[in-house]
Structure 1
């Protein structure tokens, strides 16, 4: 599609969105905000539906992380901080309910206000909101936090800041952000920026803070003690300002949280079996079925809990770097997908227990539907018909093998596709017209959490050798992997993209072509698709849920038919092995299942129930 047509199409879409959302310029302040429609919970809600408002307080849990840390500031690029810190020690203006696709309720802010087009958003701070040192949260703190993180913080905050036309105080406890483009999600994203204390960083550069420069937060926990690379000890703040909020009722119930660090996942799991950790998450269905029969489980001291969810599968698999030939040819990518004998691999490594990902949003209402594109989905894609890969409009399904180790039919099809792309076998090697052999390198990180990746690639390498393709497996440590992945120094590598029921601006970072070649880009495959960009625009400008779903299903088609990733299995349920005294609201599970919002946030110790 010509660039001038693409620009015109985007401008028309934005104008249409503004027209459809035309309404009175101002709404009344409210306790919450949803992407579409009103929030599900009323202003007088008692607690989040997946929290137990009567959960007892007290106790201690110990969790484990693989790797190390050299920072306790998760809001800047410098250093590596424990991922839990941001969610336990700091807060945002609004808090998310994980029982709704995308709805926020007041946290540091008591109310939110916006216009119908969501061209601006205004927050009113709670008078009682406090940092952990007891000082009040001010409008000045909030404005400084937006500006500092948007300009000096981690790059994930900068994309939002670029879309802010202005930010200003509109009252003693009020501030307003005005946006410079049409994007309904921006009003919600503003509510999810972390708030830091301006005074702590007076005369200092937040981006240059060291390990000892722990940012002051407003959250339920504070960092009490740490030892670099070994542990972090968090203590529940007895003076936490928000303990009586409905949004917080039944959450953050443990008095102490200790995070221990281990060199690899095997050692971490052994520490759990030895009673040193309170819980572990297991991502391997085969291991879950066969490796959790140790004595503590048999005695009932350890409980195995499975947590279902309704979120999209996301994409887990081996991404192909299209910046490099011949992976820029879709026929080669389709051949490599076909040669990956998933049915045999899955049966060998997981006992066939984990279903395969069939598209990026599979398992949810946002996933593409079988067969040809229809209705609004087809209308969105048709302007790009000339540039879409085969199957996008017609329907695309992953190749399915017969499950045998030989996979003869699949390899014959792969060879036909490679032949169409100009590759032929000569003297046992697959070569192009210039006689250059097809040799590929898969880059893997030495990390027990994805230990199966190496085993999968061993099986895959044997299959590719039958096609005359040489596959080299390179396993490197975390630091080397981060550097090489940032520079796109790989042919294939393991990729995991978790996707929500409310995909938004982050999709540009995952699949957008504007920054595809910038070092560190999340667009590992290097895709450049005007159609994908237009579908993301349509998602963000959709005036209602139906339009949003149609645009996401259209994006799913572009991504899936692009053949960028060799998909493997999806995590259909969360699997948590935990001490028997730990429990959670079994009958009120959130639609998002397990995640950072779930354990330890809404769990508690049963032994404290009668105290």
Structure 2
């Protein structure tokens, strides 16, 4: 992949005071006092094979349809931002930038780019690349409104030198109908970490449309520890990320003990049964288990008893978001809160948990479940068909057809719900319970890609959905009134509430974290009481099964994420692997299994 061979270090033509060699950092901020969650025993080498259900819709990571967990994983391994947050999400640490400055009014940010930073093709990372990335993110033809909105908060960055870049906040920038103004903390967070920097030589002068077309099936080389070669791609099947042997930050503190695998093979296996079979054969190394039945019924047998495969329930602090059924309130009769509330009363989560999920889930009664932002006073809507029927009666649904379905003004109360095969068990029960109160539910089996498409297009009445919250809540995209009408935004339900808009303004403009927490709690209460979702359930831990040939730190995963952290902090343990392969060939051999539950992060 390396094409250019620039000398190591700073350009000798750039003086120290402009970020070149000899730069002292006087008058700037930096951070060297942070911990990296990695294993002291980590060693480079080997590989890991993982599976996702669907092949990437696009490899243009700033393009339409790119907001997926798989693309977030790729983004984290191939590209870098100016700064990042530490493990506890409390302090900024260097990444592409070594130092930074924040103006007293919190509206101007300057960064000094590390002169040693290099893209995978050998080109140095400079201010020009930051500007080119910003220009791309500003282009509305990307069809990615969230990144357009972020870029729109800043003026075009200014290059003060090859290594010093300045961001200025647009004081009149608005994000939604509440006339949004962020405080310094939020602007700095976004300028520092929201933009993964691309090389200008690939994207300069490209429109969003041209970018989407040109890079739909190939990745741009980044500055991160892994690279992608189009020769390693099997369309709609698999591709490989390879560790850079010349990664510029190999010896930097922030990468100590991380990025150990020589290769990461990512396969698309849509059929869950086939994925499980391949995992048991050792053709896939790691499985994240999302269904309780799979965890309790399928993750057992000889391979587990002999320790060839390990299963772990890792308690950490994932940013769980709302899960359940999103209701499109733009469409009648779903614009009536009584109908939406009735849909909630008919959702028998207690029965699902007991009969289908082994009582392993906690109920979601918040858009921020299990976090400091959850409003504990939110209503806990339980199963009650009588209450549901009374609400429908109040809403004017009093007539019935000969087969028992409600009708009003000659129209049957009929709703459509697309679903994934794995959801059929409980949605079938839901359909039966809705029929008891006169609602006709039509279930339509589909795949994850189609669900995402119709969600973005708002082409649904009801749709199952599970969101992941960012490290810091970003209520604008899901709750703001303006986002309800923005194509491709996360406000799928059509939430429009002036009180929520005002609270978003308070959250975004406050420097006091206590006020921000309280604002989100109030937003949470208003949103839950609007019944825009039939809320479901969540688990406070990550379920994972894997071949017993890998090493990892005590917590197994990162403190606040799962698959992304795994690929960064795990390593191929040669000694474990030798025992693993020997045991595979000798059925009488057993390996050490250890405890299933890992609660390291609950005390760290």
Q: When the two structures are superposed, what TM-score results if normalisation uses the length of structure 1?
A: 0.82
* Residue 132 of structure 2 is aligned to residue 144 of structure 1: yes
**Residues 53 and 530 of structure 1, relative CA distance in 2, 3 Å threshold:** farther
**Residues 478 and 364 of structure 1, relative CA distance in 2, 3 Å threshold:** closer
**Residues 499 and 196 of structure 1, relative CA distance in 2, 3 Å threshold:** same
* Residue 109 of structure 2 is aligned to residue 107 of structure 1: no
Larger displacement relative to structure 2 (587-596 or 463-472)? 587-596
CA offset at residue 414 of structure 1? 0.9
The equivalent of 1:73 in structure 2 is: 60
The equivalent of 1:439 in structure 2 is: 414
- Secondary structure of 1:232's partner? strand
* Residue 505 of structure 2 is aligned to residue 537 of structure 1: yes
Given candidates 33, 43, 61, the residue that maps to 1:56 is 43
CA offset at residue 573 of structure 1? 0.5
CA contact (8 A) 2:550 2:577 kept: no
The equivalent of 1:12 in structure 2 is: none
* Residue 195 of structure 2 is aligned to residue 208 of structure 1: no
For the residues of structure 1 that align with 2:236 and 2:203, how far apart are their CA atoms?
25
* Residue 309 of structure 2 is aligned to residue 302 of structure 1: yes
Matches within 5 A, 1:567-578: 567-578=535-546
The equivalent of 1:189 in structure 2 is: 190
The equivalent of 1:454 in structure 2 is: 424
CA contact (8 A) 1:307 1:593 kept: no
Larger displacement relative to structure 2 (427-436 or 273-282)? 427-436
CA contact (8 A) 2:548 2:577 kept: no
CA offset at residue 227 of structure 1? 1.7
**Residues 456 and 425 of structure 1, relative CA distance in 2, 3 Å threshold:** farther
Give CA-to-partner distance per residue, 1:368-408, whole Å, 9 cap, x none: 132xxxxxxxxxxxxxxxxxxxxxxxxx422224xxxxxxx
CA contact (8 A) 2:60 2:211 kept: no
Matches within 5 A, 1:371-520: 396-401=378-383, 410-426=384-400, 427-444=402-419, 446=420, 451-478=421-448, 480-504=450-474, 507-520=475-488
CA contact (8 A) 1:57 1:608 kept: no
Give CA-to-partner distance per residue, 1:523-558, whole Å, 9 cap, x none: 111111111222221111111111111111111111
* Residue 111 of structure 2 is aligned to residue 123 of structure 1: yes
CA contact (8 A) 1:78 1:208 kept: no
The equivalent of 1:162 in structure 2 is: 152
Given candidates 266, 269, 286, the residue that maps to 2:276 is 269
The equivalent of 2:567 in structure 1 is: 600
For the residues of structure 2 that align with 1:488 and 1:552, how far apart are their CA atoms?
25
For the residues of structure 2 that align with 1:243 and 1:219, how far apart are their CA atoms?
10
CA contact (8 A) 1:440 1:470 kept: yes
CA contact (8 A) 1:313 1:361 kept: yes
- Secondary structure of 2:325's partner? strand
Aligned residue pairs, count = 531
- Secondary structure of 2:428's partner? helix
CA contact (8 A) 2:557 2:566 kept: no
Larger displacement relative to structure 2 (166-175 or 419-428)? 419-428
CA offset at residue 44 of structure 1? 4.2
The equivalent of 1:528 in structure 2 is: 496
For the residues of structure 2 that align with 1:460 and 1:425, how far apart are their CA atoms?
22
For the residues of structure 1 that align with 2:57 and 2:473, how far apart are their CA atoms?
31
- Secondary structure of 1:600's partner? helix
- Secondary structure of 1:515's partner? helix
For the residues of structure 2 that align with 1:467 and 1:455, how far apart are their CA atoms?
20
**Residues 330 and 117 of structure 1, relative CA distance in 2, 3 Å threshold:** farther
CA offset at residue 491 of structure 1? 1.4
CA contact (8 A) 2:418 2:445 kept: yes
CA contact (8 A) 2:57 2:65 kept: no
For the residues of structure 2 that align with 1:270 and 1:196, how far apart are their CA atoms?
39
CA contact (8 A) 2:145 2:487 kept: no
**Residues 588 and 73 of structure 1, relative CA distance in 2, 3 Å threshold:** same
CA contact (8 A) 2:314 2:555 kept: no
Gaps of at least 5 residues in structure 2 are 1-25, 172-180, 579-604
CA offset at residue 312 of structure 1? 5.0
* Residue 75 of structure 2 is aligned to residue 86 of structure 1: yes
For the residues of structure 2 that align with 1:63 and 1:519, how far apart are their CA atoms?
32
The equivalent of 1:317 in structure 2 is: 324
CA offset at residue 580 of structure 1? 1.0
CA offset at residue 178 of structure 1? 0.5
- Secondary structure of 1:163's partner? coil
The equivalent of 2:20 in structure 1 is: none
The equivalent of 2:521 in structure 1 is: 553
Give CA-to-partner distance per residue, 1:60-102, whole Å, 9 cap, x none: 10111112236433222378995232121111111232422x5
CA contact (8 A) 2:319 2:560 kept: no
Gaps of at least 5 residues in structure 1 are 1-26, 33-42, 371-395, 402-409
The equivalent of 1:97 in structure 2 is: 86
Q: When the two structures are superposed, what TM-score results if normalisation uses the length of structure 2?
A: 0.83
* Residue 355 of structure 2 is aligned to residue 348 of structure 1: yes
For the residues of structure 1 that align with 2:556 and 2:300, how far apart are their CA atoms?
28
For the residues of structure 2 that align with 1:173 and 1:570, how far apart are their CA atoms?
45
The equivalent of 1:30 in structure 2 is: 29
For the residues of structure 1 that align with 2:134 and 2:576, how far apart are their CA atoms?
41
Given candidates 215, 218, 225, the residue that maps to 1:220 is 225
